[in-house]
Chain A
Amino acid sequence: MDEPRVAMLEGNEACAHVAYRLAEVCAIYPITPSSPMAELADQWASEGRPNLFGNVPDVIEMQSEAGAAGVVHGSLQAGALTTSFTASQGLLLMIPNLYRIAGELTPAVIHVAARALATHALSIFGDHQDVMAVRSTGWALLASGSVQEAHDFAAVAHAATLEARIPFLHFFDGFRTSHEISRVTLLSDDDLRALVDDALVIAHRGRALDPDHPVIRGTAQNPDVYFQAREAVSPFYARVPAVVETAFERLAERTGRRYGLFDLFGAPEAERVIVLMGSGAETARETADWLTARGERVGVLQVRLFRPFSAERLLAALPPSVRAIAVLDRTKEPGALGEPLYTDVVTAFATSRERRARAGLVEPRIIGGRYGLASKEFTPAMVKAVFDELERPEPRSGFTVGIVDDVSGTSLEHDPGFSTEPEGVRRAVFFGLGSDGTVGANKNTIKILGEDPAIFAQGYFVYDSKKSGSQTVSHLRFGRERIRSAYLVRDAHFVGCHQFGLLERTDVLACAAPGATVLLNSPHGPETVWDELPRAVQEQLLGKRLRLFVIDAARVAREAGLAGRINTILQTCFFALSGVLPRDEAIDEIKAAIGKSYDRKGSDVVRRNFEAVDHALANLHPVELPARATSTRAPRETVPKTAPEFVRSVTAALLEGRGDALPVSAMPVDGTFPSGTARYEKRSIAAFVPLWEPDLCIQCGNCGFVCPHGVIRAKLFHADHRTSAPEGFLCAPIDIRGFPETRFALHVHADDCTGCGLCVEVCPAKSKAETRKRAINMVPKETVLEHARRSETFFETLPVTPRPRVDFSTVRGTQFLEPLFEFSGACAGCGETPYVKLVSQLFGDRLLVANATGCSSIYGGNLPTTPWTVNAEGRGPAWSNSLFEDNAEFGLGLRAAADHHHAHACAGVRRMKATLGDDLTEALLSAPQRTEAEIRAQRDRVERLRERLRGIETREARHLLAVVQHLVRRSVWIIGGDGWAYDIGAGGVDHVLASDRDVNLLVLDTEVYSNTGGQASKATPLGAVAKFASGGKRVERKDLALQAISYGHVYVARVAMGANPQQTLLALREAEAFPGPAIVLAYSHCIAHGINMQLGLDQQRRAVHSGYWPLIRYNPGLRERGENPLVLDSADPTIKLREFTDNELRFRILARTDPATAERLLAQAEKSNAQRVWLYENLAALRERE
């Protein structure tokens, strides 16, 4: 047999590598962290890669996981080997079919990157809540604990399901395993053939629904037989443990890798044992081995097969010496006596007590605890804390470990200094930004080193929650033996700080081991850098006797003609300093890797990269450290002292990376958080920010209108205010005659800006003398930052223009409306957020938002800070995210409650007319609330009503007082992306539109699932390449506007801010004013289109001008006036479709991979484009029939 191949893979790929080969049909849908498995399946299928049977699997994207489960069920019933990949809410959506598939004894495998569930909050991170939620479905649950196991157990699951006829859910920990890179010894096709019995495959096909041998499956049964039939499956479950053991055995025979249903590690005669499954078992095993080597009798029992649970095997796997057991569950089951694994273990012992007693075995004490929810770190120190707890005379059950629970007192204390990091493992931590390529370089490093068969490597990467300016931390380990440390590196031998600015914000040296090497990318040379270091950094350098090296990577890159590409240079320095390979050998390896990566780009690129490598070494300097810390510079406050208490005590801790230390008592009990915290997170991520030129400005408001992050604000103020303005404060006389004393100021929040440049692109005012200069221009931030900060303090003291005085009908007017959505973590140049911000400006002080899961819920609601905020009166959008699939329904619920309480309030006012007086009653009930002035007047009336009611001690008055706010008209907006509106939530969207309720749907149409990394949706255009459409989308996008128009009573608009901002404004206002359901489809350029985001608005213009995205407004109200409800706001196409598509990578990829198909699809798209234009033109030209 050939030497087995090894590869450095992430857990997802390791799993998909096997799953794909054993599948005939894959039904897929994106969900973090499992998406990469589905993406790879789609990609491989598009490349024509065959499965084990010589055929290319059918990979089908569905509209939801519920849909995927339906396809899985159908495909299985028709006899195909079928699989899917999912996690979290996706798995929950599959539950109905999971019962079906298991009930029908159907062999199937679903691979799950296990993840937390949305409860008080959504979390994308790993735990076992999702798989525990399906433990009653009848699926076998097989748990992998490492990347290698994710590969091996995928095969075991496929093999066992065919033999047992019980469907298998194979799971591994989301992120910790799914995204960890590790060395995997690959299973060959021959290995898989040896594991998966062809006869069983054929038997599965033989059970398929087949008109040649017809049967009926899926009957309805009555009380007489349902119960018995349900029991008929029991023998099959009883066989599963043996079947899995056999599969493990066959795997061991082929590979030498031996697994059991329950594997004991540590001391063979352990007295204290921890039982757990998943990646935590790796850490626990490392700890137990460490403790055992020091004489402790401790062990770890790793559970591989959780369902069906074999009590017999569990008991057999435990040594007779065991006296105390702690069962760790990575889930929480509120209200239960214990978590599932714990109760199973307890039950196993309880049901065997007599037998064990007869055998003379001592009953161990069994306690249960929770750990690691949502990827909470699980370290050897925590494992030791559990072992220590088991040694106590009265160990606690129901404990938690890894947090401080000062509310219920469940948490075990652990010693953060305890470490079991194996000798001989080199550890490195790198701090960088997403944009600087640090992670990519580190992945490359692992691959380089992983090519050496003697080296084991592990890479794990941590990202923050922002889509712009995000910080990354890479944790790398290298050693000569398999690495089991499934936790972040703590005592690093090497720390790389790839951005000097991070030293101020992040404690980068906390993870450095004494004597470690520190590489700092620094614009300051070895002689001057010391004086630029924060005091805390200086102290750690000295205190831990660290070796500091600096390089100005940006300069070296620039000089090598690779401006901005610092990653190769810093990677070279790592190899030179870290000693993971001999220096010369390491440099040769890097150059070889460069040669491989850039060969086809031409020798010039290779040469420049080689130069960069050589220059890196020449410019790498050690820094001589003085004897003591010298910096006297005070660190910048994380949040100002004036911030609210919650922000100072909780938000600040999150921002400083101290969130793990926050106790339970610091957390809101129900997931409710204060609004407006993003303004306290001054990220200062932009290198360039806009600078306003008051003399050139025509005060049109376009820049502020399109600013995705709400950093450009305009105010009007009386000239007298200038006396207190800081020197150089920028303002200009207002550009309207008749107001000589009024000044206009445009302020840029430089610390909050992402530097996208959309404002510059949209500015219509140019200098007459120098046409490149506009009324707003990007300048290096450091040249204006101090001034901007001083100006900001003053600017915020200027009064906001009262809303009744603002002209809501013009873009120019809206710049004076305060954004109540600001400084989000969206991508720089985001195409969605300008719409969201505009809604917040127009209706924010009476706005209820239902937000579908996706980009908008992440930049809108992901901690540490959130952008929805309040005005000076404390009013602002009240926002919530329910789920992905139910957002329209959730929003309808918000409306229903508002309507009900409005009716309640009206009835109450009417009933209390005698007490309240005729005038107030009539005014309250008949108040028009079309304009801001009218709304303001109604607010005043409601305030008067409130005052009156407070003095009345009746039950009616108390109830009325609780709902009087509903007398002010509420604006309910249901916001989400196309993945929601076109796919997973389409049924709900349709149903809500079919209602007569006053709700407004805003679809942020990026034509792709942006948040999960660009998977195709039904909005993805023909010919575009996206994940799940690797070979190019083969059908046209859905015209949701036409679908909504077909109802006749729905307000429908299609807008594109970049093409016509005024039409966008008009449509949003009309939609809100329309008394029934309204839907606004907003074209949103996106990073997933593969464009220069600075030119995103220009692409929107091209989309409209090519006829791809006609601008329309369909207002049923016009029909009553005898007019055609449909207004086409865009002119005939003035450019070819190609002039739009050629600018986007998503269309260009296909031209590269499959030019003939690309041409064909483009021709088809041009045709349907013309038809679309024709249809809208004709619809708009129709006259309403009498």
Chain B
Amino acid sequence: MDLRTRYLGLDLAHPVVASAGPLSRSLDGIRRLEDAGAAAIVLFSLFEEQIQQENEAFDHLSGFGSESFAESLSYFPAVGQDPVGPDRYLELIRRAREAVSVPVIGSLNGMTDHGWTSFARLIGEAGANAIELNVFSLPTDPATSARDVEQRTVDLVTAVRRAVEIPVSVKLSPFFSAPGELANRLVAAGADGLVLFNRFYQPDFDLDRLEVEPSLDLSRPGEIRLPLLWIALLHGRVHTSLAGTTGVESAAEVVKYVLAGADVAMTTSALLRHGVDHLQTLVAGLSEWLERHACESVAQIRGSMSLRKVANPEAFERANYVRILQSYRSPYQG
């Protein structure tokens, strides 16, 4: 069975890719992912804001209370107090590239223009095969317009594209009014691929303490619908690599993504739930499905259920509730 696929110009053995997550925090973890069969590994995200905040926190806490009282002019030894940059992340890329043969994709969440471009450049220089821009920002200010948000995203892709030689993918939020148009603009700005979709931290409420609690649950198969929809809508209409990255629990979701038009399907939640060896289950399941359906290759079925190729394209375009009401009544029994 020919499972090969091509993503961001990289030739992959199959379409199952480890998405950015905690499993790739260490070299051991990266090795385990390769050993378990990941076709490519997207490293956990480097957050510029986190680096900056951590530096500021270190700076504040290591100096807090100092130079105030004659007996305790400081409270910590003068070690580890120099601000750190992305060095450790870059070192991990370097070592990962030496340690594994599958492509290693860096992931970056920038905060400032300088951060996006300089960190992206460093990730490229460290040897990453590609870079995924984890565009994660919540326009909490009601005065921020949708156009502003879109333009910022396009601008940063333009800037990063200029800064790096390696392929660039953009992991998008689903919350755009017109993702299709934006996708085209991003590709025009130089994106080599789109990753659909980013999952936000969505806070919960603690009803006893009446406090907001940040939380992020692992994704569930039901969550595949939205990215599946958009991959199916964009496939063949936006000329770029596509990755589906939410709700992959079993081989079924991998198949669905490929049918919708994705070049790869990414997962972390399933691996956290079942262990990294679950990657083999996903790949084997994909292979079995193809065999069961007498398919020859992944390439053969890619996008076969996309908007352009499906028998009932209106199924994608109608609002859900209308479809549900319509299907409630059998066309054959009146």
Contacts and interface: CB of A to CB of B under 8 A. Distances in A.
Interface of A: 32-33, 36, 39, 42-43, 46-47, 124, 175, 179, 433-435, 437-440, 443, 461, 463, 465-467, 470, 472, 598, 600-604, 766, 771, 827, 858, 1010-1014, 1025-1027, 1030, 1087-1088, 1090-1093, 1145-1146, 1148-1150, 1152-1153, 1155
A1025 B79 contact: yes
Given A604-B112, A1011-B71, A1012-B71, A1090 B210 contact: no
B215 to A, nearest CB: 14
Top 3 nearest A-B pairs (CB, nearest first) are A434-B68, A1013-B72, A439-B67
B304 interface: no
B79 A1013 contact: no
Contact of A601 (B55, B62, B68, B77): B55
Nearest to B70: A463
Interface in B95-112: 112
B76 A1026 contact: yes
A47 B77 CA distance: 11
Contacts of A33: 70-71
23 contacts: A32-B71, A43-B77, A463-B69, A463-B70, A467-B69, A602-B52, A771-B210, A1011-B72, A1012-B72, A1014-B74, A1014-B76, A1026-B77, A1027-B77, A1087-B64, A1087-B75, A1090-B62, A1090-B75, A1145-B58, A1145-B61, A1145-B76, A1149-B80, A1150-B80, A1155-B88
Contacts of A1153: 79-80
Contacts of B85: 600
B58 A1014 contact: no
Contact of B76 (A36, A601, A602, A1149): A1149
B79 A1149 contact: yes
Nearest to A1015: B77
A1149 B70 CA distance: 24
B311 interface: no
A489 B151 CA distance: 59
Given A32-B71, A1145-B58, A1149-B81, 4 more contacts: A467-B65, A1014-B74, A1030-B79, A1150-B80
B114 interface: yes
Contacts of A1146: 76
A443 B66 CA distance: 13
A176 to B, nearest CB: 12
Contacts of B179: none
Contacts of A465: 69
B313 interface: no
B275 interface: no
B115 interface: yes
B70 A32 contact: yes
Nearest to A828: B65
B44 to A, nearest CB: 15
B70 A440 contact: no
Given A440-B67, A472-B68, A1090-B61, A601 B52 contact: yes
A1025 B80 contact: yes
B69 A47 contact: no
B75 A1088 contact: yes
B72 A47 contact: no
Given A603-B114, A1090-B61, A47 B79 contact: yes
Contacts of B52: 601-602
Contacts, number: 129
Contact of A1152 (B59, B63, B84): B84
B319 to A, nearest CB: 36
B53 to A, nearest CB: 11
A288 B57 CA distance: 51
B70 A46 contact: no
Nearest to A32: B71
A829 to B, nearest CB: 10
B114 A1013 contact: no
Nearest to B85: A600
A766 B211 CA distance: 10
A440 B58 CA distance: 16
B78 interface: yes
A1093 B69 CA distance: 17
Nearest to A174: B70
Contacts of B221: none
Nearest to A1150: B80
A723 B82 CA distance: 61
Contacts of A461: 67
A1090 B54 CA distance: 13
Contacts of A1087: 64-65, 75
A47 B112 CA distance: 34
Contacts of A1091: 61
A1014 B72 contact: yes
A124 B71 contact: yes
A32 B73 CA distance: 11
B55 A1152 contact: no
A70 to B, nearest CB: 25
A31 B78 CA distance: 18
B68 A463 contact: yes
Contacts of B81: 1149
A124 B70 CA distance: 9
Residue among A42, A1013, A1146, A1148 having the largest count of chain B Cβ atoms under 10 Å: A1013
Contacts of A1030: 77, 79
B58 A1148 contact: yes
B9 interface: no
B112 A1152 contact: no
B114 A604 contact: yes
Nearest to B208: A764
Given A1025-B77, A1149-B76, A600 B84 contact: yes
Nearest to A825: B69
A463 B70 CA distance: 6
B222 interface: no
Contacts of A440: 63, 66-67
B29 interface: no
B83 interface: yes
Contacts of B79: 43, 46-47, 1025, 1030, 1149, 1153
Contacts of A604: 112, 114
A123 B61 CA distance: 29
B280 to A, nearest CB: 28
